[in-house]
Every structure is written in structure tokens, then in C-alpha cells.
Structure 1
Amino acid sequence: MTNTDSHLRIKAYEEVEKHKEIVNQDPYRLHYHIMPPVGLLNDPNGFIHYKGKYHLFYQWMPFKTGHGAKFWGHVSTEDFVHWTEEEIALTPSEWYEKNGCYSGSAIEHNGKMYVFYTGNVKDEKGNRETYQCLAVSEDGVYFEKLGPVVTLPQEYTPHFRDPKVWEQDDTFYMVVGAQTLEKKGAVALLSSKNLTDWKYEGDLAGGGKGSLSDFGYMFECPDFFPLGEKDILIISPQGLCADGMKYRNVYQSGYVIGKFDRKNKTYEHGQFEELDRGFDFYAPQTTEDDQGRRLLFAWMSVPDQNEQDHPTVDYRWLHNMTIPRELMLVGEKLYQVPVKELEELRNGGYYSQEMTLNNEITEIEGINGKAIELKMKDILLQQGWFEMSIHGAARMVFSNGVFTLERKSYVDGTVENRQCLLDRLHSLHIYIDTSSIEIFINEGEEVFTTRFYPSKSEPSITFGASKTCSFTIEKWDLKKVF
């Protein structure tokens, strides 16, 4: 550990202690979502199941609620309910990362954890250099930095970042989010036999090829993995224009499905689909655990989207992760469901009822609370609309094949919405946590994720229908674990 590294760690921990009291006074502090102890959190990094524990690293700026020279924060768990705050994993202490240890991934090899990340460097004029770097750990907590292992291929601008590494058929592969010299988004592919010497193989996707050939000006946070008989590429493209109900956020996150030809290093794939239809979802990262599950975390926000208007800024913290989700391939679509371990968050307060609404809006006795799980199944709506309002600050509506999520903007209080098409609505699985909502529709066919900031005086949840709507509803109170 260098003197610079030690100094940065001490300063970060001092910042946590200095502001711990005011952070914990925030009524919008979440109960069961990963948050920064102070400052700003963004992309999930290095998500891995290693030596019996799930490790999640994250982009962290401890000194302010804005962006800057990022650290890697680190939490671990065995069950996705009880979490341990680990030592800071990476600090921006070396010349090749002095403006931030940016996003990356982790892989196990010979019992060690190898983390790959982007070292960000800027000069006085704001010109950028990026280096794909490696650090190695014997225990998943303390890391030795080995420095840059990938130089920037001449085909790309310095917007070249977020390496994701995996092993397949005795070869290691890396995908990196990139921008071509023609300012088109791309995913670069590299290969290696030893994790330190990397060969550039060309574009895996985008950059003038296939359905992603002219699809925004930058692809961030690529993730590539097999699922069933297919190979999935997840990307976060920047520069897409809104198209009806699609691409309504500043930047998007989604996936394509195809088949990777390892011999020729090519990938034929279909059309881009968004992973989440809500307001706040970006930079997802996955891992496979020892049960063979493909699991996902994402940042519950979007870059460059009115960040300093969040009311949590007054309490010196900003942003959080989604709950962990399992991915499943159903036909040609990715489904997402909450991991089963989250059932252990249930803390009493159970309520169940069969309900029929007839041209009314009403509360249901026992269905309330600020940190709860709701399940609605066997929803039958033959005509008209169904709605659900949460704490007077968010509202879901299903009408004429369109599902809409509305919320009151935390910027100016106006009502804004996100939407998707559904053939029918038969179930809802909803996690509410003081200032976040995650909605899983039809066993994960569609997902909406959002932050929201309800008034303290509006704790009610109401249900309504313009004609007749019947369903069974279950509710649980959820533990506070953070």
C-alpha cells in the first residue's frame, strides 16, 4: 500500500465518520438496498460469487454527492440479506488512475480474485486517457495493483472503459465499452491465455456492424454471457433518441440475444431491448453463482439526470443499487425476478385477501407501509382501467394494453411517466422501500424501477378500477438491514 493510497483511505473513512449522523437522519434512507455510507454511489462493479460469498463492488465518491475521482467501495454477503461493509478495495492513487478507478469486473482464477477496471486520467485541459488495469487478491478484500494490461486500440477514442472478463473453452475474453473514431458506440473484444497479455480481436457489436451499427455514440458497461442456448450482450448505450414508449431516459440499458462464434470471434444478434422500463436503472452487471443462476445488480439512477435535485443530497448521500435479480431466458426475451433469498427479509406484518373492485378507488385494510413487499396474482380486468397509487407520489395504471408508471418529479413536482405495452396483466410483484419502487410484471416479463420521494403525511396505498377488477393480494413488512 503506497502513502497516497493510505492517505486516500484515511480521508474517505474520516468523511464517513464526519457525516454519519446527518446521513442516518434522512427519512428517505433505504431499509434493504445497498447505499453509500456517505457521498455518491454509481455503477455496480466486480459482482462475483467467490469462496462462498457474493461480493459487490461499486463506484464511490466519498467526498461529495457529485462525480470525480472514484473509489471502489465493497460489500459482501452470503444470503443477500445480511451484508458486511468491507475495506475499500481500490483508491485512485496511481498515475494510471489518478482521476478515478472506473468500472470493471471480477473473475476467479487459481483461487485468486482478479479485478479488471478502467483507470481514468485527465490533463489540465480535460483531455482523457484510459487504461484497462488489473488488481489481484488472495482473499477478495485486499488487492495488489498490477497496473495497465490493455492499451487503447487505435480504432477507438479514449472513451474506452468498463472491462468485463470471462473464461470460455480455456480462453479468457474481455469486452470493453467503446466509441469508434467516427463517434459510434461499439463493444470491443479481446482475448488472453493468462489474464495479463491481451489480444485485440475487433468489434464484437456496434461500430458499423449489425442492428447496433448506428445506435448511439457510446456503449458503456458491456456484459456478455451464455444463458440457455443463447449468448446475451448487455450494454448501456448513450445518444439514443426517444421512440414512442422506448428510450425515454437520458441514457438506456438493454440487451441483444444471439450466438457467439468463438472460432471467428463474431457475434450475430437480434434487436436491442430495454431491460427496465422505469426512470432509474443503469449500468447493470451480472454474475453466475454456484447454483448456475445468472444474477444481476444495477445502479438505481441514470447519469446526467438532475442528480443534485434529489432531496437526499441535503443529507450528504446519493443513489443506491437495485435489489438483486435472477435473469431467465423465456423465448427471445429476458425475464427478471427478485432472488429467492429476499423472502428472508419478510418480518411479519403479513396480510392476504381476495379483492374485487367495482368502479371505485379504495384502501385495503392492512396493505400499507414504507418498506414492504406486495404480490398481486390472478388479476382479472376485462374492461376499463386498473390503478394503484403509492404514498401519493407514484401511480401505476393499466388500460387498453398499456402499463404506465407515473411519479411526481423530484425536480419540479410535475407528473412524469414511463410506459410499455402488455398483452395482458395477470400479476404484479412490488418492492417498496421508503424512496424506491421496483415493479415486476407478469413474473418478470417487464420491470419498472424508480426512485420517488413521498410526503411524510401520505402513507396510504390505494387501489382503483373503472369497472370490475378482481385479484388476490399478499403483503409483508420487510426488515431494515442497512
Structure 2
Amino acid sequence: MLNRNDELKELALKEMEAHRETVAGDHHRSHFHLMPPVGLLNDPNGFIQWNGVYHVFFQWMPFKTDHGAKFWGHYTSTDLVYWELAPTALTPGDWYDKNGCYSGSAISHEDKMLLFYTGNVKDEEGNRETYQCLAESTDGFHFDKKGVVLNLPEGYTAHFRDPKVWQHLDKWYMVIGTQNLDEEGRVVLFESKDLKNWELKGDVTASGHQELGSFGYMWECPDLFELDGTDVLLFSPQGIEAEGDLYQNVYQTGYLTGKLDYEDGKLSHGSFNELDRGFEFYAPQTTLDENGRRLLIGWMGVPEQGEEHHPTREHKWIHMLTIPRELNYVNGKLIQRPVPELEVLRHQKVEKTANLSNEQIEWADMNGTVYELLLQLRKVDGSFSIHFRNYSSMVFDSKEQKLTFKRESFIDGKEESRSCSIAEVNELRFYVDASSIEVFVNGGEEVFTSRIFPNKGDDSLVFNAVGEVEFKATRWKLN
């Protein structure tokens, strides 16, 4: 007789089989991004390279395209390019996670892969309980739940989740996103010698601390790591008001940099910086791979931001993950670059050069739906725009020193935009998939990540100049 966890895995497998053709028949389905086999995908979890294999787990609701009692889906890869769907890793089948195996992280310890995650529980009145839980695997595919390792400490609400675990010297550390009893966002730090008994060190930092000011009612998905000599805290705050071009999405993602004092558990830091300027980016997670690279994958979505209007829901799926990115810290800024492994996808290279003066141009052999486009700008005197598939565009205005991504809203069809101030643009790299676009500006100095939903058959790529513009365009189709 199957236990509840095995029963849920069987039900998820049947759901995948039942809707396989429906998902595959969607012209918006991904060609080179990770997406759910069926249902809803959100936060990446447990990103790790273990015994030479990359593992990305993900929050997954297999039975509908709404949020619910989450599973952990699982993909593996040997090269960050070609991924295989692995058996479901975690299911909400125990008393401590019956309303969802929420986000968490993975580590390697004593020849095992260990998953730390938040068990979500709600009683009949909807009151929330939260537990930090552990699961172990000896092969990286089959996981044995070990139960609760950390209960909710005093001083915080039950919105206490998303453990990220790492080792520093001879001890283990865990950060968790939460809010205090006054509903102010913060990240807390725990310390352990054995990964089972955890001591609370206190708040790493919080709303109202240092240069932050009042900064939201809840912080999710923290990730704390050292990069190029600086400690970086990634997190996703909720409850930030829009301010000019900043904080335009319903919820944000960004980072603080400084120095973590492991003795008192405090991070000395400066101001908050948004990590991505696009419409859909949230809950990223990083890992340090065997080559010493700090890699990042994010969720190409935002909670409660028009999710009910995504057209892919008609085909029984919603949301994707970003491509893997390599991080560096340069001149006080996080730089994100696509991992070079993705270059293996390139074929059918086309190169063009142009000197436009108040004109537009479209080369038929550069049109397409799935490609990488590198634009090297040699001169921009005025403004320059690139229009993708009659649906979205990227515009740089050299006089205003502003870069703007525009698209047709999938909610009401009106034009909407996201912008950042930038003195000059000399390079734009676009990764265009059937229903997404990721834009890397000046070698990863800024990034725009967004979903796009053009009509089937719309594959135009149009360049337009108001003033004088010189550029070289290189396009590769992607397998």
C-alpha cells in the first residue's frame, strides 16, 4: 500500500501523462527555458552541482495553474544547457508540510545531498504554522524525509520560510526570510555544528536598519554568499511602493552588499539595488559550482501579478525559470552574464551592419521566434529601438539617458514599460524564446527579464533610428 507521499507522486505523474500533448501543443511553450511539465512552476529551489551534475528543483503545483500545496519538481543537467526531468523530489504528504513543501536549498554533506525546505501547515481556520525541514538522498534522485529541524522562534510571525544553508569554516549557517510581530520584513541567521540543532543569531538586517528605511512587510527567498571579496544578500521584499522607475512590479528582488560579521550575525551594508529591470523576475537562487563560479537562476514570474491572465493556462501550464547566469561583483554592482555553455545552442549565424538616419530596417533573414541577438552599438545620436514580433521593443534614448523595455500587456492589451537610467549603451544581448525575452545590457550591467506572448507566426525583427545610429547585429538561431 502506498504511503501519502508515494500516492501524491503517482498522481502527479498521471497528471503529466494526461496533459502531455496539451502542453506540447502550445506555441508559447519554451524551447530552451525550464518550464513545468504541467501545472504551475514558481521559485527555483535547491540549486546545486553535486557529483558533477547540476540539479534545479522548483516549486510545483501539478494539478492546476494556480498556487496550492506545493511539490518540489526536479531537473538535472551535466552542462546547464540540456536538462532532463527527474522524479518528483518532495511532496506535501506529512503533518509538517501537508499544505506545501515551500522553498529551500540544497547542500552536499558526507556523500549525501541534503534538502532544507519550509513545511507549510494551515489549520481549519486558515491559521498558519511553519517548520524548517530536512530531506536526504544518497543518489540525488530519491529523497528520505527526516522531518522538522527548526521550529518558529519567538518574535516572528509564521511567515517564516525559504531556508538557504551554507558552510563557513567549521560551522553551518542558515538564513530565513520573515517578518517580525509588527509585520516588518527581515532576514534572520541561524548557526549549527551538526545541521540538526540550530541557534538563532538574530536579524542579519531588516526593514528600518542602516540605509534601508521602511522597507516592506515581508522578505522572501534570502541568499547570502561571498563574491569577489564582498558579502551579498539577495532577497525579495514585499510591500515596497513604486518610486520613479524603481520598484514597478508588485514585488521586488534585489541585493545588499557589505560584510557579514559571523560572530554577531549582522551584515553591514549600503542601499538596496534591484537585480532585474524587467516585468517578470523573482525569488532567484544561487550556487557555487565546481568551477568556482557563482551561478544564478530566477523565477520568470512575480506573485499576484496578472498570473490569472497568462494565455499558457489554456494549455495547462504557467511560468518558467530564467537561463543560468554567472555573477560577478564589479565596481559596487552585481554583473549578470549568460553562462557560456549556452553558446552550444547557436546555429545559422547572420551578421549585418547598418548606419541608419531617421529610418527603420528589417532584414527578412534575421526574423524568427527563438534566437540570440547581439547588438553592438557604435554610435547613438538620438534614440534607437528594436521591435520584436509586433509585441515588444527595447528603446534607448541617448539624450534622456534612459533604456526602456516596452510590451503589449497580456492583461488589457495596452502598452506598458519598465526603464532604467543609463549613460550609454554599447551592447545589448537578447535571448528570445517563444514567450520570453532576457536582455543583458553592456555585458550584464543591467538585465531585463520579461514574458511576451506574440501571436503565432509573428516573427518580425525591426530596427529603428530617430537620429543617427551605427550598429552591428549578429543573430543566431537557437536549437
Say if 1:162 and 1:221, in contact at 8 Å, map to a contact too.
yes
Cα deviation digits, residues 18-67 of structure 1 (max 9, x gap):
11111111010110000000000000000001000110000000000000
1:179 aligns with 2:179: yes
Distance 2:87 2:258 in 1: 39
Give the alignment of 1:268-347 within 5 angstroms: 268-346=268-346
Say if 1:28 and 1:312, in contact at 8 Å, map to a contact too.
yes
Say if 1:206 and 1:213, in contact at 8 Å, map to a contact too.
no
Give the alignment of 1:81-160 within 5 angstroms: 81-160=81-160
Structure 1 residue 212 displacement after superposition: 3.4
Structure 1 residue 213 displacement after superposition: 5.1
CA RMSD of aligned residues (A): 1.1
Say if 2:203 and 2:265, in contact at 8 Å, map to a contact too.
no
Structure 1 residue 430 displacement after superposition: 0.5
Structure 1 residue 2 displacement after superposition: 6.0
Structure 1 residue 305 displacement after superposition: 0.9
Say if 1:277 and 1:446, in contact at 8 Å, map to a contact too.
yes
Where does residue 200 of structure 1 map in the other structure?
200
Distance 2:438 2:378 in 1: 19
1:165 aligns with 2:169: no
1:367 aligns with 2:366: yes
- 1:96 aligned counterpart, secondary structure: coil
Say if 2:211 and 2:271, in contact at 8 Å, map to a contact too.
yes
Say if 2:201 and 2:264, in contact at 8 Å, map to a contact too.
no
Distance 1:309 1:135 in 2: 35
Amino acid at match of 2:210: G
Amino acid at match of 1:357: L
Cα deviation digits, residues 309-335 of structure 1 (max 9, x gap):
110000010000000100111110001
- 1:412 aligned counterpart, secondary structure: coil
Cα deviation digits, residues 90-141 of structure 1 (max 9, x gap):
0000000000000000011111111100000011111100000001111111
Distance 2:131 2:457 in 1: 50
Where does residue 390 of structure 2 map in the other structure?
392
Cα deviation digits, residues 346-404 of structure 1 (max 9, x gap):
1x2210122211110120242111110011114311x2110000000001111120000
Where does residue 46 of structure 1 map in the other structure?
46
- 1:26 aligned counterpart, secondary structure: coil
Give the alignment of 1:48-87 within 5 angstroms: 48-87=48-87
Q: Report the identity percentage.
A: 52
Say if 1:356 and 1:471, in contact at 8 Å, map to a contact too.
yes
Distance 2:54 2:474 in 1: 29
Most deviating of 233-242 and 2-11: 2-11
Where does residue 465 of structure 1 map in the other structure?
465
Where does residue 226 of structure 2 map in the other structure?
226
Distance 2:103 2:213 in 1: 24
Distance 1:374 1:148 in 2: 47
Where does residue 356 of structure 2 map in the other structure?
357
Structure 1 residue 458 displacement after superposition: 2.4
Where does residue 378 of structure 2 map in the other structure?
379
Say if 1:161 and 1:177, in contact at 8 Å, map to a contact too.
yes
Where does residue 37 of structure 1 map in the other structure?
37
Say if 1:379 and 1:425, in contact at 8 Å, map to a contact too.
no
Distance 1:36 1:379 in 2: 40
Where does residue 24 of structure 1 map in the other structure?
24
Distance 1:174 1:437 in 2: 33
Structure 1 residue 456 displacement after superposition: 2.1
Say if 1:364 and 1:463, in contact at 8 Å, map to a contact too.
no
Distance 1:440 1:81 in 2: 18
- 1:93 aligned counterpart, secondary structure: coil
- 2:223 aligned counterpart, secondary structure: strand
Say if 1:179 and 1:207, in contact at 8 Å, map to a contact too.
no
Where does residue 446 of structure 2 map in the other structure?
446
Distance 1:314 1:386 in 2: 36
Structure 1 residue 214 displacement after superposition: 2.2
- 1:194 aligned counterpart, secondary structure: coil
Say if 1:300 and 1:451, in contact at 8 Å, map to a contact too.
yes
Distance 1:152 1:195 in 2: 16
Distance 2:74 2:55 in 1: 7
Amino acid at match of 1:390: F
Cα deviation digits, residues 203-222 of structure 1 (max 9, x gap):
00105422335210000000
Most deviating of 64-73 and 135-144: 135-144
Distance 2:44 2:245 in 1: 27
Seen in structure 2, the aligned counterparts of structure 1 residues 2 and 187 have a Cα distance that, compared at 3 Å, is farther
Say if 2:278 and 2:418, in contact at 8 Å, map to a contact too.
yes
Q: How many residues matched?
A: 477
- 1:63 aligned counterpart, secondary structure: coil
Say if 1:205 and 1:213, in contact at 8 Å, map to a contact too.
no
Most deviating of 38-47 and 207-216: 207-216
Structure 1 residue 263 displacement after superposition: 2.3
Distance 1:459 1:45 in 2: 34
Structure 1 residue 285 displacement after superposition: 0.2
Distance 1:379 1:397 in 2: 16
- 2:257 aligned counterpart, secondary structure: strand
Say if 1:435 and 1:453, in contact at 8 Å, map to a contact too.
yes
Amino acid at match of 1:353: K
Amino acid at match of 1:103: S
Where does residue 235 of structure 1 map in the other structure?
235
